[in-house]
Amino acid sequence: MKLVPDLRLEILEKVGIYSNRFSIAEPKVLFTPKEVLQEPKELTEGRRTTTYKYFGISYMQSNLIFINVKKILDEKTLDNTIVHELIHMRFPYLSHGKRFNKLVRQGLRGKTFSPYQKRK
C-alpha cells in the first residue's frame, strides 16, 4: 500500500477504534522505518533497524506501534496487523500461539475487552 494522507488517517481512526474496544491507551503510530529511527533510541529499543522485515511492531513500554504500510498489500492484512499489534499491548504477557490468534480473530470480529487488571 502507498502511504497517502487518507490512508494515514484511516489507520489512525482504526487504531483509535480498536484501542477503545481493547480498553487500552491509544498508542502513537509510526508508519515508516525512518519514523522509527527518528524516535529516541530508548523508546524503540530492540527493533530499530529491522523494521522493514515486519508488517508491524509493538513497542509496549513506549506505547508505540509501527505499521509497515509499504509491506502490507491489502485492507484485510492491514486490519489484521493493527489488531495484532494492539493485542500485544492489551495482553503483554501473551506470546504468539493459538490463544493469541484467537484473540486477534475476536478483535477483528468486534469483541470488546474490559480493562486489564494487574494483580496486587
Model pTM score: 0.91
Evaluate if residue 17 carries a pLDDT over 70.
yes
What average pLDDT does range 2-22 have in this prediction? Answer: 95
Contacts 24+ apart (CB under 8 A), 9-13: 11/67, 11/69, 11/78, 11/82
DSSP H or E segment with residue 35: helix 33-38
| Choices 1.10.540.10, 3.30.420.40, 3.30.2010.10, 3.40.50.20: CATH for 5-108 | 3.30.2010.10
Average model confidence (pLDDT) for the chain? 92
What pLDDT is stored for residue 117 in this prediction? 67
Q: Where are the domains of the chain?
A: 5-108
Evaluate if residue 119 carries a pLDDT over 80.
no
